[in-house]
């Protein structure tokens, strides 16, 4: 008996891939920190730092996205980069849970690669990273269609889960909502705005 394979719409595949890619970039960021040599350079001034983690995470993200979506424009915060990366930095899988659990909004079903731009900030919070404020560090991948934001992925490499693992990835898509986290109720003895 033949089975049919349904290919998810492009935007959904990009988000599902970006979830996995951001996770891999987060591991690279943790690995650079563990080695103890951040490789800090100044980009445009003393308050604009770049580390080996910025450069390596961007190379991982851009190389993976370019391989999967060769006709999509990708803009990285760290500028042009060498996309020849170690094989284990290339991510080719998708987050099946995201694809299985979410229907693509009608407005995003027919988007073409030429209409898309993927924005990459491989390590948002570089200054905090160099100072040890690790809970403030994120990997950001944004997706726009015809100059309008439609989705994105935020990975927190140093987030501690209840199970003891490090890192969590949150995603959002216009018309679907957000996922990758469990909302918690605020304390009843406080007023939080």
Q: Alpha helix (H) ranges present in 6-124?
A: 10-35, 52-68, 96-101
Residue 6: the pLDDT is 64
Q: What domains lie within the chain, and their CATH numbers? A: 10-102+113-179 (3.30.540.10)
One-character DSSP codes across 101-127: H-PPPGGGTT--GGGEEEEEEEEE-HH
| Annotated binding residue 113 | no
Residue 28: the pLDDT is 97
Residue stretches of the chain with pLDDT short of 70? 1-6, 45-47
State both tokens at 179: 């996922």
| Annotated binding residue 121 | yes
| Annotated binding residue 123 | yes
Predicted TM-score of the model (pTM): 0.89
Residue 79: the pLDDT is 79
Residue 5: the pLDDT is 46
Residue 3: the pLDDT is 43
Residue 186: the pLDDT is 78
User: In 3-state terms, what secondary structure has residue 133?
Assistant: coil
| Annotated binding residue 10 | no
Residue 46: the pLDDT is 60
| Strand partners of residue 33 | none
User: Among all residues, which ones are annotated catalytic?
Assistant: 54, 126
Residue 1: the pLDDT is 44
């Amino acid at each position: 008996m033949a089975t049919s394979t349904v290919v998810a719409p492009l935007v959904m595949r990009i988000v599902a891939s970006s979830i996995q890619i951001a996770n891999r970039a987060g591991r690279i960021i943790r690995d650079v920190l563990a080695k103890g040599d951040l490789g800090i350079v100044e980009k445009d001034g003393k308050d604009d730092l770049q580390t080996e983690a910025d450069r390596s995470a961007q190379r991982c993200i851009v190389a993976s996205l370019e391989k999967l979506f060769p006709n999509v424009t990708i803009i990285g915060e760290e500028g042009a980069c060498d996309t020849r990366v170690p094989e284990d930095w290339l991510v080719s899988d998708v987050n099946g849970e995201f694809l299985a659990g979410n229907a693509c909004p009608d407005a995003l079903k027919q988007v073409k690669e030429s209409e898309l731009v993927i924005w990459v900030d491989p390590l948002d919070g570089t200054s905090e990273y160099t100072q040890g404020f690790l809970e403030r560090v994120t990997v950001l991948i944004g997706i726009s269609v015809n100059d309008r934001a439609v989705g994105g992925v935020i990975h927190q490499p140093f987030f501690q889960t209840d199970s003891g693992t490090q890192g969590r990835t949150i995603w959002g898509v216009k018309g679907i909502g957000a996922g990758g986290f469990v909302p918690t109720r605020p304390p009843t003895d406080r007023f939080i705005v």
